Structure 1
């Protein structure tokens, strides 16, 4: 008897900037493999032309390299019924998904509604592609997974055909929770090599961490709100501590150094670390005075969750998904309000009792999120779709 197989599209792991979606893909793959129902196996597929080793995940089969490069594969899946993927069920961690044969399941993750709510923070081409791809997923998939109720509500407004929505949150990687000698085989963002075992003190010395600093984590692009953060730190009421920024360069030609010069941030107050390994991120999070998340729009906000789990106060924008995720454990400030952000940061850093309360509330909130719980809920969608398809096969491919 054939072993039932779940195939996950791991293409985002080969992207020039995997970003938060790449992080989601890798962590979900690990958790799916660890929680697989008896008899099921998990494997991945990717396009040709990239380094498939970047999509390797322990405990997961593959990746199988499909016979088309990324752009051609995207077009083929959008307009054709080829190449198919041999699987009992398919999970697409982005709206890039293959045609699925009759009697097979399909679940697609939609991370946010930014292509509708904030299209100016994406390339024009990217916004159009995502809107069309999500609408197609709403028609074809058995279920759409979204990370927050905020995304679910917004998606229903923009895509009325999206009726099969499941809200399933994310989790915290073990490497981020273990700042000691944990080893990691992948970076928080692309471009940083794997690390060997080091103690937290050794990592802090290598990273040249100052005694006190603010931390921001995210791809360097317009949607992440870095301009407003730097403007806030240049305000007279802002705390005079350095800002460390972790993240790979994205689109939009955002230059942190140019922003600092334009807004008069004193030299030495901004340090860009680029992408870092998870075990370095763990140390950065635990030693920071606060994590700052000034995003214009988010679907979940994984750095906020990881900071709360690491015992770090969080100051975040009032983007609905971030407000929902923090649930009062952080301090929310209006988006694009540099003065309010500066005041909030000063208050948190100047009031130890406030910071201690935020740390306690953040730890309690973060304890409700776990990648294995996420994976079990995703598995229920796939096994349910496979069972339903077996009992009532569809007459045509999707």
Structure 2
């Protein structure tokens, strides 16, 4: 058995200080009965609050947290003394010192055995208490302390209405107290939520199980004296980028979360402002290129990425290709292995659109990579031809698995397009022409967002094609997760009229709901073949319109194809896809550099159909 580096640090957090303190007391006794050495720290509040009460002229409602504390930071008359302004730093310093001292005590008492340090106040409580902005230095200090905790038990003992109706629907002080806990808990690692409304004995039993599980994981984990290897993923797209928010950001987030099981993971992405944040155990670093606009921002991101790679120490880098040049020649600037992920290699499509030879830079850059992941077999053949020495792996995307609802097969009230608004690449002009020609009985819904220029172009196209007394084409704008699920569930079938795709993640998502997908017969989309899809010769608008009308009028056909789509989607799981990225990372990091030779050309990891 591998001995952990130090005691397991566990915090019981939540607005109810009495409840968390009593939980720590119960856990101390229960863990002691199991033979673990336990050191418990009970807090009665920050030492500054105990020794230096806030003067009446400084006190605000909700002291010391809430908006009042934040407002005083910009009002010299209400900020109090310098000591008061350093409150959060002093509190964090006291917490760090106390847990360090408790760790020494636990290690001495355990004599090489397993030990646990329990605190009834953790970094999560400090972040909430002071209402700290995400990017502040004090918040960063609390978050670094949170990284030392092996487990934080968030005791949710608010009123039943909070859980029954949701946080946003409940008014009153309970919501004000719980909302920041919920917000910060999403951004800190190793948070375990516990229902505090149950009997104290049941709460303690649940907490005991969580702590024991954490101890067992430490027993089977690699030697903690060896630092975790650092894997960095880079992608221009991000869920907060209003101009894109494509499937690439979702894929990288899934891969990062899976890699975080065995490695220290950082995601480098674009943003309007520079900054870092922790989300689900993954560190996000933003390069401030968003203010340059979507096109110039992509070029800036590509040019700055090699400089960022030299500043962030890493053992492995996974680079999601970014248009227009796709590659950034990253392998030239780092001695660590680099894996190129082909999610946005579109230089050929941009050449056909703008007649600018972006593909020349792309082809030169691809030859620098020794490891490349592609989404489909057709792109794999192209990349192997352009980079003969590269080890090219085909790893398809995944989808959240769901049971196929036989009662909804063949139903639907509208035709759906879902994706990024890019009129030319996504073929929206072809779609509107085909819909105008065929005039199917179902309305067309377009959901998605893009750059302001692309959105204006789409609005003009919709206005030109929808001239009847009753509008039949509706552009909904960006669809959030819940709205997206509703659209997929209620649609009759999905249309994907793209001129260029690398995989088509939204098609797979539609298939998981048992919906047929109508698309042009592009090589990159042939993974859907015989999976309930309907293909049309590339860019044949008349034929596309006819097949659209056929699907819209024949519910029996939609039902038969929808069942095949749903069954085919069950072979594409996130667990399998991300597991292959994890295996690839281990192969590159666990093998000596001299032995990292690409496998036989043509070998690939294809998703089983």
Structure 1 residue corresponding to 2:540, chosen from 329, 337, 342: 337
Counterpart selection for 1:168 from 392, 395, 402: 395
Q: Alpha carbons of 1:320 and 1:67: their partners in 2 closer, same or farther (altered >3 Å)?
A: closer
Written as runs of structure 1 = structure 2, the 5 A alignment for 1:375-390 is: 375-390=578-593
User: 1:205 aligns to what?
Assistant: none
1:258 corresponds, among 457, 460, 471, to 460
2:284 corresponds, among 60, 63, 66, to 63
**Structure 2 contact 232–266 (Cα < 8 Å) conserved:** yes
Structure 1 counterpart of 2:415: 214
Pairing partner for 1:294 from 491, 494, 497: 497
Q: Does structure 1 conserve the Cα–Cα contact (< 8 Å) formed by 2:248 and 2:343?
A: no
The one-character-per-residue Cα deviations of 1:242-294 (angstroms, maximum 9, x if unpaired) are: 11101112465763343244446534111111111122111101110111111
Give the Cα separation in 1 of the matches to 2:345 and 2:287.
29
Which ranges of structure 1 fall in alignment gaps of 5 or more residues?
179-209
Question: Which residue number in structure 2 is paired with residue 3 of structure 1?
Answer: 228
Contact residue 32 and residue 372 of structure 1 kept, 8 A? no
Q: 1:327: how far off?
A: 3.7
Question: Structure 1 stretch 239-248 or stretch 253-262: which is displaced more?
Answer: 253-262
- In structure 2, the CA distance between the partners of 1:358 and 1:9, relative to structure 1 (3 Å rule), is same
Give the equivalent residue in structure 2 for 1:110: 342
Structure 1 counterpart SS, 2:479: coil
> What is the aligned partner in structure 2 of residue 280 from structure 1?
483
Contact 1:170–1:302, Cα closer than 8 Å, also in 2: yes
Normalising by structure 1, we get a TM-score of 0.76
Q: How many residues align?
A: 350
**2:441 matched to 1:240?**
yes
Larger-Rg structure: 2
- What TM-score do the two structures reach when normalised by structure 2? 0.51
What whole-Å deviation, never above 9, does each CA across 1:65-85 have from its counterpart, x for those lacking one? Answer: 56988655532446x696342
Q: Which has the higher contact order (CA 8 A, sep 6+)?
A: 1
Q: Deviations over 1:204-259 (max 9, x none)?
A: xxxxxx97111001222211111111111112x43122111011124657633432
CA RMSD of aligned residues (A): 3.4
Distance change >3 Å, CA 52–CA 350, structure 1 → 2: farther
The corresponding residue for 1:229 is 431
Cα distance between partner residues in 1 of 2:537 and 2:384: 25
Question: What residue is the counterpart of 1:132 in the other structure?
Answer: 361
CA–CA separation in structure 1 for the residues paired with 2:509 and 2:271: 33
How far residue 370 of structure 1 moved from its aligned partner, in angstroms, is 1.4
Do residues 149 (structure 1) and 374 (structure 2) align?
no
Q: Which runs of 5+ in 2 are unaligned?
A: 1-225, 291-296, 404-410, 598-609
Post-superposition offset of 1:64: 3.2
**Structure 1 position 83 matched with structure 2 position 286:** no
Question: C-alpha displacement at 1:109, in angstroms?
Answer: 0.6
| 3-state DSSP of counterpart to 1:255 | helix
Instruction: Report the CA distance shift for 1:150/1:392 in structure 2 as closer, same or farther (over 3 A).
Output: closer
List structure 1 runs of 4+ shifted beyond 6 angstroms. Answer: none
220, 241, 249: which one aligns with 1:25: 249
Instruction: Spell out the pairing of 1:195-214 with structure 2 (5 A cutoff).
Output: 212-214=413-415
Kindly provide the CA deviation profile for residues 34-84 of structure 1, in whole angstroms up to 9, marking residues without a partner as x.
Answer: 36554x22222345743657x864231x22356988655532446x69634
